[in-house]
Amino acid sequence: KPIYILNGPNLNLLGLRQPEIYGRETLDDVAAACTALAAELGLELRFHQSNHEGALIDWIHEARGAGAGIIINPGAFTHTSVAILDALNAFDGPVLEVHISNVHKREAFRHHSYVSLRAEGVIAGFGTEGYLLALRRMRTLVAS
Ligand code: DQA
């Protein structure tokens, strides 16, 4: 069963938008690094990005039964979306939450995450390396 890595709104502009916060690596760079590490770890990967809440929810539904685990950077939906939380609550495998920036060092509205109510673990502020750390942790979680 594959691991789903899901990315929310504006992450298609990674490397271009606010590089002082999010770095200069693009989402294609992140996808390539994750694909290489997944192969090394013997994990199958589905890597997606959408600016639309419903598309993210559809991939979470697709992962029900078909996915081993979900790593999600919900972007700003982290702080707003009960619907994404509900979809994740309907998924029975492990969930890890990733933020490129340290959301706790930023505006107060970024300090609360609906997704954290469901996630086994959260990585924030490790830049795009956070995705690779989450993938290593996911291998442990799906093996146990
Ligand atoms: C983010 C943090 C969110 O607060 C923000 O809305 C994003 C990206 C991050 O990866 O640091 O779009 O999830």
DSSP assignments along 2-66, one per residue: PEEEEE-TTGGGTTTS-HHHH-S--HHHHHHHHHHHHHHHT--EEEEE-S-HHHHHHHHHHHHHH
pLDDT for 66 equals 84
pLDDT for 12 equals 98
Which residues are marked as active site?
Answer: 22, 99
pLDDT for 67 equals 77
pLDDT for 111 equals 98
Q: How much distance in Å is there from the Cα of 125 to the middle of ligand 1? A: 10
Tokens 């509900």 map to which residue? 86
What b/e sequence results for 17-30 when a residue is b if at least 16 CB atoms lie within 10 Å of its CB, and e otherwise?
A: eeeeebbebbbeeb
Q: Which atom of ligand 1 is nearest to the CA of 22?
A: 11
Residues with CB under 6 Å of ligand 1 are 10, 73, 75-76, 78, 99-101, 103, 110
Question: Consecutive 10-residue runs of the chain (144 residues): their mean pLDDT?
Answer: 97 94 96 98 97 98 92 98 98 97 98 98 98 98 89
ipTM greater than cut 0.90? yes
pLDDT for 30 equals 98
